[in-house]
A and B are shown apart, each in its own frame.
Chain A
Amino acid sequence: MTEPAKSEVPAQRGRRAQRGPKKRVRPRVSVFGVVGEVLMTGGVLVFLFLGWQLWWNDAVMAASQSRAAESISQGWLEEAKPDPAPAPAVEEGYGDPVVAAAPGDATPFAVLYVPRFGDTYKRTIAEGTGTNVLNSPDMGIGHYPGTQMPGEVGNFAIASHRSANGGGMHLINELQLGDAIYVQTADGYYTYRFRDFEYVPPSAVEAIAPVPHDPDGVPVDRLIALTTCNPLLSTAERIIAYGVFESWQPTGAGPPAELAALLPAA
């Protein structure tokens, strides 16, 4: 080991010595070299994390949330089966929708279907908009406590991530006038039709009032409000997608035709 060390000594003295054909020179370890390598490693780690957050984990969470929503939906269908609900096919509809009471925090109570978000898109809606709901692998969409419930006169307001953590409302900007927004609960199916977007500052709590932007107004319409962050990958604004209630049918009557085509045969 001492032999090669000797031969390196002159190599370190002058650059010309390095040009020798057989002399392999080990460059001196410099502080800047190490700092540079550490910085580059840090950069790679940051990009790896972003990739994990926005694609890998996002896809894993989306698949997991979708499976959870499917199983909760199947559970309601099986609950309804033993009691063949006397749901006659009424031409005029089924009257006023059943309005359930809001459950406790982080309790799932509905499944959201938006065909515009993808034929297989489904997500569980749970009470509360904390990270315990929005970042959960088996929920993903949160209902603002204090806002109305599905089918209720007023504003059924829900929130979800635009990207990462399953991105429950990733494609919200793709909604088009009249697009169906289905909400399934243990009681039945509520059909809303997309009406319009609003871009508001994060403080705009009046967007989820029973009458949006009129906190003192007396509600007449049954609305749904999907809220998420905007623009994509930023939290500078919020995008609100309003839908208007169209119809309701009990679980026994089966899902609406357009939705039934997308659901796995029960």
Chain B
Amino acid sequence: MYAALWRLLPGPVWVRVLLVLVLLAAILYCLVTWVFPWVDTVVNNQEVTVGAP
């Protein structure tokens, strides 16, 4: 899967490395901005009060 992605990227190795870093940064940004806040509301909602069932 990742090997295929690597082959899809154009240019010499240093261009590919740069592209991979840019892609990773973009993915991380999307995760932190939208995905993780949403996941946080769906799972693992820590209950901290007493008296709650």
Contacts and interface: CB of A to CB of B under 8 A. Distances in A.
B51 A33 contact: no
Interface of A: 26-27, 29, 33-34, 37-38, 45, 48-49, 52-53, 56-57, 129, 131, 134, 142, 144, 159-165, 200, 202-205, 207-208, 227-229, 235, 238, 240
A33 B1 CA distance: 8
Contacts of A52: 31-32, 36
Contacts of A45: 31
Interface of B: 1-4, 28, 31-32, 36-37, 39-40, 44-53
B35 to A, nearest CB: 8
Contact of B4 (A29, A142, A164): A29
B40 A53 contact: yes
Q: Specify the main secondary structure of chain A where it touches its partner.
A: mixed
Contacts of B1: 29, 33-34, 37-38
A24 to B, nearest CB: 12
14 contacts: A33-B1, A52-B36, A53-B44, A57-B36, A159-B50, A164-B46, A202-B50, A202-B51, A208-B51, A227-B48, A227-B49, A238-B48, A238-B49, A238-B50
